[in-house]
Amino acid sequence: MSPEKSLKVSVLASGTGTNLQALIDQVHGREGIEIIGVASDKPDALALDRASSAGIETASFPATNYSGDRIARDAALADWLRSRGTQLVVMAGYMQIVGPAFLDRFPDAVINLHPALLPAFPGIDAVSQAISYGVKVFGVTVHFVDEGVDSGPVIMQRSVELPDAREVDDVLPHIHAIEHQILPEVVRLFARGAVRIASTHPRRVLVGPLAVLPER
């Protein structure tokens, strides 16, 4: 994405949409970035209300509409996103796995926010996993989505030391604060054309000035 072009972003969310709100507040309508759609697997997700309040088009794709056929739902979701000109898909608390056919529709353009320092603690309840393990450092990862579970190449990570954390509620406010910073930052980098996967290493993501310099 070159700096002089706009970036059309669609967001997938299943819950309250606080990270969607961070994107609306910090990047929507700024620096050539436009959030053009928000979709959910939950018709009653608060994220959809947040989008509607901001004048952003919404849609829901509940599993019951597709008889549990994930491939059919992925296809319908991808059609909806593509029909609106989506260039970057942001999974912000979207509690569904998208399959390879979906990813093929948006090559190197689907990213996810995960509340742990991957590759540690993938999947659900990442903060609980980390507390049970006894870690002293928690964090957030934004990564490309691949066919695995939270296994795609890492774009950006940020951490916080919480050596005395014993409960999820000890950690979540710190995690949310990082999420609301890091996700808009990554979207801005995409809009500037400053994120790409290195041709010499499929798991190395070049970010910022490195993305426009020759690879080594």
Are 146 and 125 within 8 A, CB to CB?
Answer: no
Does residue 28 carry a catalytic annotation?
no
Closest listed residue to residue 25, CA positions, set 171, 180, 168: 180
Token digits for 146?
């691949």
Token digits for 209?
């000035």
Tokens 């997938």 -> residue? 12
> What does each C-alpha distance from 140 to 29, 47, 127, 173, 189 come to in angstroms?
25, 20, 10, 12, 17
**In the chain, what is the straight-line distance between the N-terminal and C-terminal CA atoms, in Å?**
22
The active-site residue out of 114, 143, 174, 180 is: 114
Q: Which residues are catalytic?
A: 114
